[in-house]
Copies of this chain bind each other. A is one copy, B any other.
Amino acid sequence: MSSTTSKAASKAPSTSDLLKRSLAHYERMVDISNASSILGWDQEVLMPPGGAEVRARTLAELSRLSQEFAGDKAFARDVRALAKAKDGLKNQERRTVELLERRVKDATAVPPELAAEFAVIKSHALEAWKAARTTNDFGRFAPHLEKVVAMNRKIAAAKAGKKGQPYDALLDIYEPGATMAEIDPVLGELRDLTVPLVEQVRKARTKIDMRPLVGKFDPEQQRAFVKDVVVAMGIDLERGRLDVSTHPFCGGVGPVDVRMTGRFDPQDLRGGLFGAVHEAGHGLYEQGLDPKRARHPLGGAISMSIHESQSRLWENQIARSRSFWKHWLPKLKKRFGAQVKSVDLETMWRAANRLGPSMIRVESDELTYNLHIVLRYELERDLISGDLKVKDVPARWNAAMQARLGLTPKNDSEGCLQDIHWAMGAIGYFPTYSLGNLYSAQIMEAAREALPDLDAQIAKGEMQPLREWLRKEIHRHDRVYTAAEIVKRVTGKPLSADPFRRYITGKVDALYPK
């Protein structure tokens, strides 16, 4: 293919020319990535089954093109030249160059042969994981996990160089700039504050009536109710869609075409409602990005954890609040008559906030969820450092589950085989979930300070003041700031477990008194 940058310029190009050329090349990368996003959404939501194999090849080709574009030699040369001229640039241009450098570095750190080898390993690992999970046989997955760990260590070493921490290099893929030095103590604190609260929940004699959320809920009515909620949150359906898929997610091409999905269980409102609010939290972030930066390196979400902070904020801090239900309970009653007719606000709030340990991460509550994450973080951190052997994963898993949640998996399928992440080759991803929870509490405290009438507004169904504040403070800035910078700007403090401690302790004490 012809390169977008010329190979032999008669004289050295100016910084402005270099930037222009690099941005034009970058735009092509965004176009290719946008194509993948929509094809991925289509695959999950409505592709007929016969299309699977050809679709896999199409997506593989787009991924190959992405890599070729990011690793293009002329592009890399331009970006490196820009990096040298960085000091003479204005703030946003410097940040732009840093983001371009990051893309080039990610694409070139791992040699193509290694990337190809990893693709094969991941594909086999995924198949083996599926079989292992069906047969409750960790032994079938173990040799593949060995290879996934070994390959992640190689990639981490290539990215981190001699000085860096290998796990940091992996974390950085999902959470740019985050380090173990920063997150390890905070996640440890999160674990230590959570364990006694779980104990408190288990010992309390609280009884919770679940009829407001478990029973008979017509899926079409659920969809209609959920649509009302997300539109009230501020989701613009002229720039997005809400569909149904087996695994709810938020995809598409933010901010102009955001595709959210939900799943509606006729016997349980929880997954359909809180799941959709969660995805709509992601969706609001995407729709809040600046459309003018849609194909620019500064455009897009900052990181996985900042994304997750937005979804969790709406799901837990808002949709499980008393204020929220003051407005929405009467509307719920209109939709689902008999099932919720006699439910009062307090009963609704208690049902929405029931806590209790469970075996499966994706089914867990907002308290115990973090223990599931910290467990996975500790294991993958130790797998990468070499302190943990793959064969010892099930024992470590089960011991930690017993010690922290008081539960022992009856087999590995409800234990260390439950998640797809490692089978997909992803190590370093898990922490972003809990970082998101911590950020959501920290951001929410700042929101309450900035919006003193917030609860009264939510109680009237007015969610736009909160949404506008989030948009102005976070969404609109795209990638102009790093995650650490934006949190510092918005909350005045670096990452901390304190706001979450205050939030969750208040909830536990109210619902499960000592």
Interface positions of A (Cβ within 8 A of B): 1-3, 27-28, 31-32, 34-35, 38-39, 42, 46-51, 53-55, 57-58, 60-62, 64-65, 68-69, 72, 236-241, 252-253, 256-257, 294-295
- Given contacts A35-B35, A42-B42, is CB(A295)–CB(B50) below 8 Å? no
**Bound CA span A60–B38, Å:** 15
What residue in chain B is nearest A29 (Cβ atoms)?
A: B61
Q: Is the CB of A69 within 8 A of B1?
A: yes
Which of B1, B53, B61, B295 is within 8 Å of A57, CB to CB? B295
Nearest B residue to A49 by beta-carbon distance?
B238
Interface centre among A34, A51, A57, A237 (most CB of B within 10 A): A51
Residue of B nearest to A34 (CB): B58
Q: Is there an interface contact between B239 and A51, defined as CB atoms closer than 8 Å?
A: yes
Identify the closest chain B residue to A294 (Cβ): B54
Establish whether residues A54 and B68, one from each chain, have CB atoms under 8 Å apart when the complex forms.
Answer: no
- Please name 6 pairs of A and B residues whose Cβ atoms are closer than 8 Å in the assembled complex, sorted by A: A1-B72, A27-B57, A31-B58, A49-B239, A51-B239, A54-B257
Q: Is the CB of B294 within 8 A of A28?
A: no
Given A48-B237, A55-B253, 18 more pairs with CB closer than 8 A: A1-B1, A1-B2, A1-B3, A1-B65, A1-B69, A27-B57, A28-B61, A31-B58, A31-B62, A35-B35, A35-B39, A35-B61, A38-B58, A49-B239, A50-B239, A50-B240, A54-B294, A58-B253
Known: A42-B42, A65-B65. A50 touches B257 (CB 8 A): yes
Residues in B neighbouring A27, C-beta threshold 8 A: 57
Chain B contacts for A35, CB-based, 8 A:
35, 39, 58, 61-62
Copies in the complex: 2
Name A71's closest neighbour in chain B (CB-CB): B2
Q: Which 5 A-B pairs have the closest CB atoms?
A: A51-B257, A1-B1, A50-B239, A31-B61, A50-B256
Residues in B neighbouring A53, C-beta threshold 8 A: 256
> Please, which residues of chain B bring their CB within 8 A of the CB of A54?
34, 253, 256-257, 294-295
Q: What distance in Å separates the Cβ of A448 from its nearest Cβ neighbour in chain B?
A: 32
> How far is it, in angstroms, between the C-alpha of A266 and the C-alpha of B257 when the chains are bound?
30
From A62, which residue of chain B is reached at the shortest CB distance? B35
* Assembled-state Cα–Cα distance A238/B32 (Å): 28
Q: Is there contact, CB below 8 Å, between B295 and A239?
A: no
| Bound complex: CA A58 to CA B54 (Å) | 20
Contact yes or no, B57 A238, CB < 8 A = no
Question: Using Cβ atoms and an 8 Å threshold, which residues of chain B touch A31?
Answer: 57-58, 60-62
Return chain B residues, CB-CB under 8 Å to A32: 61, 65
Assembly CA distance A253 to B58 (angstroms): 11
Name which residue of chain B comes closest to A72, CB basis. Answer: B1
Question: Least Cβ distance of A257 to chain B in Å?
Answer: 3
Task: Name the residue of chain B whose CB is nearest to the CB of A254.
Answer: B54
A46, closest chain B residue (CB): B241
A39: chain B residues at CB < 8 Å are 35, 38-39
Partner of A257 from B1, B28, B55, B69 at Cβ < 8 Å: B55
Contact B253 A48 (CB under 8 A): no
Q: Please give the distance in Å from A52's CB to the nearest CB on chain B.
A: 8
In the bound complex, CA of A339 to CA of B55 (Å): 44
CB distance from A6 to the nearest CB of B (A): 14
Which of chain B's residues has its CB closest to A240's CB?
Answer: B48
- State the Cβ distance, A24 to closest chain B Cβ, in Å: 11
